[in-house]
Every structure is written in C-alpha cells, then in structure tokens.
Amino acid sequence: MADREQLKERVCAEVDRLAPQLIDASHQIHARPEVQFEEHHACEVLCALARGEGLDPAQPAHGMETAFAVEAGGDGPVVGICCEYDALPGIGHACGHNIIGAAGLGAGLAAARVAADAGGRVRILGTPAEEGGGGKIRMAVDGAFDGLFAALMVHPAGADLPAMDVIAVAQVEVDYHGLAAHASAAPERGRNALDAAVLGYMGVAALRQHIGERERIHGVITDGGAAPNVVPERASSHWLIRSPTLTDLGPLKERVMACLEAGAAAAGCRIEVRWHDVTYAGMRSNGPLLEAYAANSKRLGRALADPTSAATPRVSGSTDMANVSHLVPSIHPMIAAGPPEAQLHTVDFARHARSSTGDRAVVDGAKLLALTAIDVWVDENLRQAVRADFEASGGRAASVPGI
C-alpha cells in the first residue's frame, strides 16, 4: 500500500488538474437550473466529464432517470461519494447544488486514480431530487448504498462547519373541497374552501407557539380560488413538518393535521390529504469520520468553526443524506461558498454559488472528500472507530428509513 501522504498529494494534484473542468461543470449546471427529477442536463454534464476521464457511469441508475452510478478501484472498503444537482423552483441554485455535484464528482474522479494503490474502492453516486423528492431514499431502496463502508458529501454554506443541524421532515398536500356560489347574489349557498384553508393556516400559526425548540412547520396556500366574486369551491395548501427525529415527527404531524381538519370543519368543507411517499430522517453524523474530515480541512487552511460558539452561524434544515446515515456511516459537512451572513435558499446565495468563493468551494470540497476517503482506506484504526461510532448510534437500520 502506498504512503498516505503521497496518496494525498496525488489526489490534490488530480483535483488541481481537473479544476477548470469542475468549475466549468458547476457553472453549466448553475446556468440551467433544473428542479427535482428533471436534472437531465446536469446529470449529462457530470457523466460526460466522468466519461472523459475514462469511467463509464451507469445512467439512468437505480430506477431513476436522472441518477448515475460508477465504481473504480480495488477490492477494499468501498467509500461512496454523493453528488447533488437539483435546483429550487423560482430561485435556481440557491442551495448551491451545482457546487455539490461538481465537488462530489471531482472527489470521486481523483479518488479513483489512487483507490487501487490505497487498498480501497470508490462509488460515485449522482443523487437527484434532494429538494423534497428523496432521491437518495429511492436509490437506497434499489440498493445504491449496499456494501458501502461510508458515504460522504459536502454542502455549501456561509461558513466551514462540521455539520448542518439536520432534522426530520414530512411533506403533506391538502385539498379543501367546498361549494361554489355567487359571492354577492347567493353567498349563503356557498361553502368557502379558501376560508377552510385560511382557518387551517391560522390554526397552525397558533400551534407554532407551543412546539419544540427544534421543531418547524411551514406552509403555503397553493390554490385560493379563481375569482373574487365566486365562492371558492377548491383550495389547496402544501406543508413541511419538521422535528429532530422520525419518532418525534409522528406526534407533531397529528397536531398539525388537527389544525388543518379543524379549518375544514369550521368552513363546512371536505378535506383531502396526500402525504408524500418519502420522509427525511434526522442525521447521524459519524464522529470519527468528521474528525478525519476536519483534519483535512485544516490542512487546506479551512479550520472548521466551533459549533458550540455563539459566533458560529447556524444552518438548520433537512436532507435525504440523513436517511443514508442510518444505513452506513456518513458525514454531511458544510463548506464556505459565501460570507457568514449568506443564507441558503435565497437569491443572494444563488449568486454566491457561481462566485469565485463558490468556485473555490468546488475545488476544496473535491479535495476534502477525496482526502477523507484515503484516510478511510489506509487507516484500520479509523475504520474501527467509525464502525464503533456507527454501532453506538444505533447501527444499520433494518430497512430504508423514511419509506
């Protein structure tokens, strides 16, 4: 087995060689944002770059049109590296997934060059539909993460952080059915579906005063009627319900539904509920893997911020990478792609995702994931610690969580 330091120098050199292509891929994906399950251009940009480097990605993969998968290396521990590349409706790459896709691919390509010499194997996974579609969950059901020793990815933010504050989330869409009537001539004949939606919304607004510190509920009314002089016979809303774990999520879902159903009852309307078929879990960040990543980040001059410091920016949200973390040891650190005040899911962050700082995050992120993969391959003590931490956190889930 080759020397660890030599292997690390080689992967850094590989990423530097690939840097112009990785940055170009990031820019191409950023310029043509595609929402969940529609990421055909982004997927092809990354697969074309992989093919140009001698790999042959399977695409489509694991039952998804915009997913891909490719492996390289020897017969040792398999490290998975996840790429994301879907955008948000209306505001494009405001979560910086163009950076994740390019950095993840760059890490995988660089790691593939040394994997056999390091005694390991790398699996690069293109995972679509993170923004609500649960791409990784669907791929996990099809075996995409089977046989992995660890799964790695890096996410842009306004600071270098060991992890995001990841909480479980469920999505529900609600339709209210009332009775149309002329709003002026015969309002007494109508049953106002918009009133039902608004009353349900107000019930949830009151509920927010009495939920846990790490719980979140947010929703929008997606349909409120067609004309003001017609009593709306149909209205719709879309809700995200978040809690620290899947176990905590169940009772909160019941409380939210009580509010929404009360709105329908008060307005004399019928309610129709559609829960999304995937639920995001809470994250299990593997401590030893994070320590290895943190040491590599310090090597690149990116010392991770102290998560216990009041001065450290907080990033809270949900990700389908959390579900993967219940199947294999996983990490989801954050890499600075903008200033500390930069907030994900904003137009401002979409600009940072194609800035010089964002481009540096692509290159450094690729190096950090590849360097951490090398640590896993060459360090038996690290692997033992990773396994022990994973088992202490609950071990492998009996089935894919969130389905």
* CATH code assigned at 187: 3.30.70.360
Q: End of a domain among 275, 290, 317?
A: 275
Nearest to 225 by CA among 281, 257, 267: 267
- Total domains in the fold of the chain: 2
Q: End of a domain among 275, 299, 320?
A: 275
Q: What gap in Å lies between CA 192 and CA 36, rounded to an integer?
A: 33
Same domain? 32 vs 174: no
Check which CATH number belongs to the domain holding 36 and give it.
3.40.630.10
Whether residue 398 lies inside any domain: the answer is no
Same domain? 128 vs 199: no
Q: What are the backbone angles phi and psi of residue 296, rounded to the nearest 5°? A: -70, -35
Same domain? 191 vs 322: no
Whether residue 268 lies inside any domain: the answer is yes
Whether residue 399 lies inside any domain: the answer is no
Same domain? 49 vs 153: yes
Same domain? 198 vs 256: yes
Q: End of a domain among 275, 293, 316?
A: 275
Q: What is the pLDDT of residue 309?
A: 87
Q: What gap in Å lies between CA 52 and CA 37, rounded to an integer?
A: 25
* Domain range for 172: 168-275
pLDDT of the chain, 403 residues: tens digit per residue: 679 999 999 999 999 999 999 999 999 999 999 999 999 999 999 999 999 999 999 999 999 999 999 999 999 999 999 999 999 999 999 999 999 999 999 999 999 999 999 999 999 999 999 999 999 999 999 999 999 999 999 999 999 999 999 999 999 999 999 999 999 999 999 999 999 999 999 999 999 999 999 999 999 999 999 999 999 999 999 999 999 999 999 999 999 999 999 999 999 999 999 999 999 999 999 999 999 999 999 999 999 999 888 888 889 999 999 999 999 999 999 999 999 999 999 999 999 999 999 999 999 999 999 999 999 999 999 999 999 999 999 999 999 999 9
Q: What is the pLDDT of residue 1?
A: 66
Per-residue CA distances from 323 to 106, 396, 401 (Å): 24, 11, 6
Bridge-partner residues for 165, per DSSP? 316
Bridge-partner residues for 173, per DSSP? 238, 274
Same domain? 24 vs 126: yes
Query: Burial level of 89, CB count in 10 A (0-12/13-18/19+)?
Result: exposed
Q: What gap in Å lies between CA 251 and CA 309, rounded to an integer?
A: 32
Same domain? 199 vs 237: yes
